[in-house]
Amino acid sequence: MAKNEFNFETNERVLCYHGLLLYEAKIIKREIRQEESPEEKPYYWVHYKGWKQTWDEWVSDDRVLKWTEPNLQKQQQLKEMHSRRKPSSRSSSSISRQDSSEVRGRTRHRDSSTDKTRAEEESIRRSEFKLPIPESLKGHLVDDWENVTKNQQLAPLPRTPSVSEILQQYFEHAHGRCNMDDETLRLVMDGIKLYFDKSLGSSLLYNTERKQYEEQVHTHEKSPSDMYGIEHLLRLFVQMPTLISQSNVDPETLSLLKGSFFDILR
């Protein structure tokens, strides 16, 4: 198959990588685009089922899988592999021989309560997400704020190293040294990059930077993570607790992201 041919159809139900895990998604539209490399290749605008439209995004072929039984099994395996939850102590097995209608009624009630409790726990966990910034980096953030807002000194674009390059450098540094395998570590880096690209225009810019943002990003047709550098990456880390509280990130991914944030900031 030619490299510029589509492997997925519009409106097709698929599985799509977002961060560390696979999620159900729908192909909204597709285009041959030039995104992260000089070459043009197929990209798909996907909507994740049950997610807000603000998380819709362009993804390449390597993040999309067909909706097949083997891939659904892979989705479940990834979830189990990254799960750190303790097994539930539910006692449904002990009542399996009781009157079926009575059991079904109680099970529905218990499942509903369990789902509600779990959702509340996850919401609290996200709201309590803390990311301490080292004092030395706080100084850089203050200097950055003064340079941009008071002195009108904007960081020249594109920055070197860019956010993408910084994350790649961290990947090479952490490779073989952390408690994650290479695939998981790469997915974490992709997750951070995704957060940056999605939040830069809405959350990480000062008013004096917006004109530059519109001109540079649209002119170069590059992802924000390929244009901006360490100053805005630090701003992402400051905003991360708020962004996490507004997202659908599962607890397993949240735990891995948090560990990587701490390590990068050290």
pLDDT tens digits, 52-105 = 888 888 888 888 999 999 999 888 887 776 664 434 333 333 333 344 444 445
Asked if residue 251 is part of any domain, the answer here is yes
- Please report the pLDDT score of residue 110 as a whole number: 45
Helices 182-199 and 230-245: angle between axes, nearest 10 degrees: 90
Asked if residue 247 is part of any domain, the answer here is yes
CATH code at position 29? 2.30.30.140
Query: Which of 52, 79, 106 corresponds to the end of one domain?
Result: 79
Query: Which of 38, 62, 79 corresponds to the end of one domain?
Result: 79
Least confident span in 15-24, 87-96, 150-159: 87-96
User: Is residue 149 located within the same domain as residue 34?
Assistant: no
Average confidence (pLDDT) over 14-19: 86
User: Is residue 144 located within the same domain as residue 237?
Assistant: yes
User: Is residue 139 located within the same domain as residue 207?
Assistant: yes
pLDDT exceeding 70 applies to what percent of the chain?
Answer: 71
Counting every residue written for the chain, the total comes to 266
Residue pair 21/82 in contact by the 8 Å Cβ criterion: yes
CATH code at position 234? 1.10.274.30
The phi and psi torsions of 89 (rounded to 5 degrees) equal: -100, 35
User: Is residue 141 located within the same domain as residue 49?
Assistant: no
Global pTM?
0.56
User: Is residue 173 located within the same domain as residue 255?
Assistant: yes
Query: Which of 79, 96, 119 corresponds to the end of one domain?
Result: 79
The pLDDT-based confidence of 263 (bands split at 50, 70, 90) is confident
Asked if residue 85 is part of any domain, the answer here is no
Asked if residue 97 is part of any domain, the answer here is no
Q: Quote the domain boundaries for residue 37.
A: 13-79
Asked if residue 101 is part of any domain, the answer here is no
User: Is residue 72 located within the same domain as residue 156?
Assistant: no
Q: Which of 198, 179, 186, 175 is nearest to 247 (CA)?
A: 198
**Cα 139 off chain centre by:** 27
User: Is residue 254 located within the same domain as residue 151?
Assistant: yes
Q: What is the dihedral of CA 164, 169, 170, 175, to 10 degrees?
A: 120
84 in helix, strand or coil?
A: coil
- Say which amino acid occupies 192: I
pLDDT tens digits, 164-200 = 999 999 899 888 777 777 888 888 888 888 889 888 8
Residue pair 203/239 in contact by the 8 Å Cβ criterion: yes
Number of domains comprising the chain: 2
Q: What is the torsional sign of CA 149, 150, 152, 156?
A: negative
